[in-house]
Structure 1
Amino acid sequence: MTLRTGRHFLQIPGPTNVPDRVLRAMAAPTIDHRGPEFAALTRRLLKALGPVFGTSGPVVIYPSSGTGAWEAALVNTLGPGDRVLGFETGHFAVLWRDMARGLGLDVDFVPGDWRHGVDPATVESRLSADTSHSVKAVCVVHNETSTGVTSRVADVRRAIDAAGHPALLLVDTVSSLGSIDYRHDEWGVDVTVAGSQKGLMLPPGLGFNAVSAKALQAARTAALPRSFWDWQPVIAANERGFFPYTPATNLLYGLAEALDMLRTEGLPQVFARHARHAAATRAAVRGWGLEVLCADEREHSGSLTAVLMPEDRDADAVRKIILERFDMSLGTGLGRLGGRVFRIGHLGHFNDLTLAGTLAGVQMGLELAGVPVDPAGLTAALDVLR
């Protein structure tokens, strides 16, 4: 067993590094989740979550992964056989499609190359052709964690409106919330799906749905089976400060601390920090002579960068060297990108020196793997940071 000194660099695009103050908050004694102290915590949390989602409406918290929050979005708004429009922007869009099909929904899935986000023009043309309004929901992954591509949700909303279509808009923000500008109310999103383990700087274990009035109306008649995921009992219990099940109490302590950190820094500053670190990372990649997977300058992710390797190189071999030599974890290629890309996470509790160390480790790992790179890549990133 190799002796490691220093701190492990966890540079996957989630779960992210959990701040010490969040860990300390989670270490507090568990309290009675039916008592007045917990009720006060719940009310404080729900109020603080609104600005992060960009909503004045309800936010439902589940003790779940983001996958559970996906299911909640679908089963609360749709019925068996309902038609859903989805887009193949990457691995997680595919998984959401598979879940929808498993629930008995009819998914019209638009093929994609995994290098571009959702095309608003395609949204408008597909919905304009649906004169019978058989499409009940449009499902979009805001930031595709497998590719580092961010779809333009505001433009998707405008496309739906231009088509004059009543479909609900469901958006996955698992790897964008708290890292990339997002506006649930302003962009007319009906259900926003999120998880705790990325921009919210927590361990995995909390799932979220931000819900519009239109989505709540749809939930009254939606016919897919639901029990644990049902919004109504949660929202009703939340009005009294409680949950209809045993909540993940200590994760909620951590959430309160993380939300305070985001509020103190200011969300515009948080988004600018992430965008700056993403720009520095792309400068390094291009300086090395490698290619960023995202092919549209308008869609670069502030959360992560996926690096496309030369055809004759195995991205996982590079990741293995970096882990063994420098104790740093990078994200693997998922689905069709297996062995073709590695992913650098630069989201959450993160600063300039952490990014500089990350990129230095990547550059050394590439060199040790025999990948021909220009060492000026790191300098290019540092120039952006300066």
Structure 2
Amino acid sequence: MPHQGRHFLHIPGPSPIPDRVLRAMDMPIIDHRSAQFAELAKAVFRGSQTIFQTTGPVIIFPSSGTGAWEAAIVNTLSPGDKVLMVETGHFATLWRNMAVRWGIDVEFMPGDWRHGADPAAIEARLAQDSSHAIKAVMVVHNETSTGATSRVNEIRTALDKTGHPALLLVDTISSLGSIDYRHDEWKVDVTVSCSQKGFMLPPGLGFNAISEKARAAAKTSKMPRSYWDWEEMLKPNANGFFPYTPATNLLYGLRESITMLMEEGLESVFARHKRLAAAARAAVTHWGLEVLCQNPAEYSPVLTAVLMPPGHDADQFRKVVLETSNMSLGSGLGKVAGKVFRIGHLGECNELTLLGALSGVEMGLAKAGIPHRSGGVEVAIKTLEEPTLANAQSHLKVVKN
């Protein structure tokens, strides 16, 4: 039987596209060598710098996030270079596999898929590398498969404390525009991202924010590259153009999504994601289920990965939810396939949207016969009410002081 109402998309990306962004993209194609296009391109270059929190170049490729991964590798590294990566989950593993295919010597620090990258372990390993054989440290900021966020600022501190000259390459594909991230302040050399998560766009745009140190590394890199070459992009970008046909209508959408993020204010965007994530975790805990991420300091604001009780299949549960509530939840990936389902709460998501999603999960738990304690949605509501009061009290204390 067909469902009524809109489909509830609560995977951790692609995230739902706001109506404003859809309308912004609903435009006739224009000449990508015209002054009108140059005005659009320059606006999105400037706006992207604001979101990445950088004054340096942000290169926008017509690509997926995987393409932006590849661009980061082929512009900064050479075959045989040694890099340090951390097994935080499925996407860290995929980026590692790509690096290996490019002939990179990857030292992959093992992980349990329940934590982010350990800054202390990275510091200890870099301290051992007195010959500076490690050319780059590559980490995933928000591991979409596990719901664990790595502390990039602390990893930067680890590099600085050891005085190690390695480049810092960071994947922010599922975090940018949703979780506080500071490319310049944290001295990141290449930040990788894409369009379909915090930017609330369809897939199709890949981003590299790059430092001067990264551009210098590109001059000595021996990797073959053409489509992904930064300098070939930066030359025409300076005047608002691309070296090949750009994704014009996605750029219209990007301009609108940046406007929306700035209207709300980045700090408010980040706070909203934290508030919604806390409510989701409160519901999960009340149901008697377990959040996959084990370190509260690393809880992801954009998704919550939930472990199923032993003997119950996460994909079967997701099927029940889809068939009965018209809602898509994220599947378990890699090592946690069939064991985990993921609740996305990023991008265009507010309190009522989240509560609708949590209601669908709770109804699905009952329909699928999953052992749980009812009332998780009510707990989430109380959690959403509490921070408002706490923030108000905190503000009053500041005023009084």
Same fold (TM over 0.5): yes
Alpha-carbon separation, structure 2, partners of 1:36 and 1:183:
32
Three-state SS of the structure 2 residue aligned to 1:342 is strand
What is the aligned partner in structure 2 of residue 267 from structure 1?
266
Structure 1 Cα separation of the partners of residues 282 and 2 of structure 2? 33
Amino acid at match of 2:180: D
Name the SS for the 2:220 alignment partner.
coil
> Structure 1 residue 52: deviation in Å?
0.5
Q: CA offsets, 1:201-258, max 9 Å, x none?
A: 0000000000001001101111111100000011111101100010000000000000
1:165-180 equivalence runs, <5 A = 165-180=164-179
Distance (whole Å) between structure 1 residues aligned to residue 46 and residue 15 of structure 2: 24
Structure 2 match to 1:84:
83
Does 1:10 pair with 2:31? Answer: no
What's the counterpart of residue 48 of structure 2? 49
Query: How much has 1:384 moved relative to structure 2?
Result: 1.1
Q: Distance in 2 between matches of 1:224 and 1:82?
A: 11
Q: Following TM superposition, by how much is the alpha carbon of 1:101 offset from its aligned partner in structure 2, in angstroms? A: 0.2
Equivalent in the alignment of 1:133: 132
> Partner amino acid for 1:75?
V
Counterparts of 1:127 and 1:104 in 2: how far apart (Å)? 21
C-alpha deviations, 1:300-350, integer Å up to 9, x for none? 000000001111111111100000000000000000000100000000011
SS in 2 for 1:49: helix
Provide the C-alpha distance between the structure 2 equivalents of 1:311 and 1:336, rounded to a whole number of angstroms.
15
- Aligned residue in 2 for 1:232: 231
What are structure 1's unaligned runs of at least 5 residues?
A: none
Is 2:345 aligned against 1:346? yes
AA aligned opposite 2:327: M
Alignment of 1:292-331 (within 5 A): 292-331=291-330
Q: Counterparts of 1:330-369 in structure 2 under 5 Å?
A: 330-369=329-368
In 1, the alpha carbon distance for the partners of 2:42 and 2:337 equals 43
Q: 3-state SS of the aligned residue for 2:257?
A: helix
Q: Offset at 1:378?
A: 1.3
Q: Secondary structure at the match of 1:220?
A: helix
Higher mean Cα deviation, 122-131 or 253-262? Answer: 122-131
Q: Which residue of 2 aligns with 1:219?
A: 218
Shift of 1:29: 0.7
The answer as to 2:367 corresponding to 1:372 is no
SS at match of 1:76: helix
For residues 53-73 of structure 1, give each alpha carbon's deviation from its aligned partner in whole angstroms, at most 9, with x where no partner exists: 010000000000000000000
User: How far apart, CA to CA, are the structure 2 residues paired with 1:210 and 1:168?
Assistant: 13
Structure 1 residue identity aligned to 2:120: A
SS where residue 226 of structure 1 aligns? coil
Runs of 4+, deviation exceeding 4 Å: none
State the distance in 2 between where 1:298 and 1:47 align: 32
> Structure 2 unaligned runs (5+)?
386-401
Letter in 2 for 1:179: S
Q: Which amino acid aligns with 1:117?
A: G
Distance of 2:33 and 2:133 partners within structure 1:
44
How far, CA to CA, are the matches of 2:197 and 2:223 in structure 1? 29
Which string of whole-angstrom CA distances, capped at 9 and with x for unpartnered residues, describes residues 106-163 of structure 1?
0000000000001011111111111111100000000000000000000000001111
1:164, distance to aligned residue in structure 2 (A) = 1.1
Question: Cα deviations across residues 12-41 of structure 1 (Å, max 9, x unaligned)?
Answer: 000010001101111111100000000011
- State the Cα RMSD in Å: 0.6
Per-residue deviation, 1:372: 1.3
**Per-residue displacement from partner, 1:71-118 (whole Å, max 9, x unpaired)?**
000000000100010000000000000000000100000000000001
Residue 51 of structure 1 deviates from its aligned partner by 1.4
Write the distance in 2 (CA, Å) between the matches of 1:162 and 1:123: 11
Give the number of equivalent residue pairs: 385
- In the alignment, the residues of structure 1 paired with residue 148 and residue 270 of structure 2 have an alpha-carbon distance, to the nearest angstrom, of 16
Aligned to 1:146: 145
Secondary structure of 1:306's aligned partner: strand
Letter in 2 for 1:57: G
Equivalents in 2 of 1:372, 1:379: separation in Å?
A: 18
Instruction: Encode CA deviations 1:283-304: one digit per residue, 9 max, x unaligned.
Output: 0000101000000010000000
Q: Distance in 1 between matches of 2:50 and 2:39?
A: 19
> Partner of 2:123: helix, strand, or coil?
helix
Cα distance in 2 for residues equivalent to 1:109 and 1:289: 34
Partner of 1:307: helix, strand, or coil?
strand
Counterpart of 2:203? 204
Task: Give 1:266 deviation, angstroms.
Answer: 0.2
User: 1:385: Cα distance to partner?
Assistant: 1.6
Specify the alignment match of 2:399 in structure 1: none
- Matched to 1:172, the amino acid is D
1:280 matched residue in structure 2? 279
In structure 2, how many angstroms separate the alpha carbons of the residues matched to 1:374 and 1:148? Answer: 23
2:245 and 2:192 mapped to 1: Cα distance? Answer: 21
Residue 9 of structure 2 aligns to a residue whose secondary structure is strand
For residue 33 of structure 1, what is the aligned residue in structure 2? 32
Query: SS of the counterpart of 1:331?
Result: strand
